[in-house]
Amino acid sequence: LVLIGADDPEGMLRHTQECRDRDYPFAADPSQQLAFSDDPTIRRLIEGATYLFSNEYEAALIQQKTGWSADEILALVGTWVTTLGARGARIERRGEPTVEVGVARELRKADPTGVGDAFRAGFLAGLSFDLSHERCAQLGSMLATYVVETIGTQEYELTRAVFVQRFTEAYGAHAASEVEPHLRIARS
């Protein structure tokens, strides 16, 4: 899976087309480039994506600029993952029930910078572990919670035991039992 994140628009288009030409699955995350891109560019960036990542604002911007409805977008992408801020995340697939995942309880709020990146990193890690989309979003949400609690996007301290404990509190023992075997972080 190739992640095509916000970058130079021409480079993003080139990488997206190369994925299509080579039949590589790709995840589209145009994020801040949406505000500067026109309709044809946005359409080319997301059409055929295996995963489309956005936040609520970006989801509305995609629909506004392309003129596509949510259903039309879902017909063009495999899975649409939308972060909802304090309400968690929504995972949509055409013809399947929507999955919504809440956020883990924060110990404190320090800085939201990097929260979306952390969510996406956790989600993609979950995919690499072959977890369900629900577990992927839970993993992403838990990691995002660590980021929002610290100043600096990579300044949090992560230990396996505390991560699993907090994950269990947020999502239950069954969910934690599916995620824990894949964690490769320092033990406490």
Coil, helix or strand at residue 25: coil
Mean pLDDT by 10 residues, the chain (188 residues): 91 95 96 80 93 96 94 96 95 95 91 90 97 98 93 82 95 97 73
Instruction: Give the CA distances from residue 12 to residues 71, 92, 183, in Å, rounded to whole numbers and listed in that order.
Output: 24, 24, 31
Q: What does the buried/exposed string (b/e) look like for 54-77 if buried means 16 or more CB atoms within 10 Å of the residue's CB?
A: bbeebbebbbebbebeeeebbebb
Phi and psi (nearest 5°) for 120?
A: -60, -40
Say what the pLDDT of residue 186 is.
Answer: 55
Exactly one of 8, 21, 39, 117 is catalytic; which is it?
Answer: 117
> Which of 42, 51, 182, 55 lies closest to 125, judged by CA?
182
Judge whether 117 counts as a catalytic residue: yes
CA 53/CA 23 separation, integer angstroms: 20
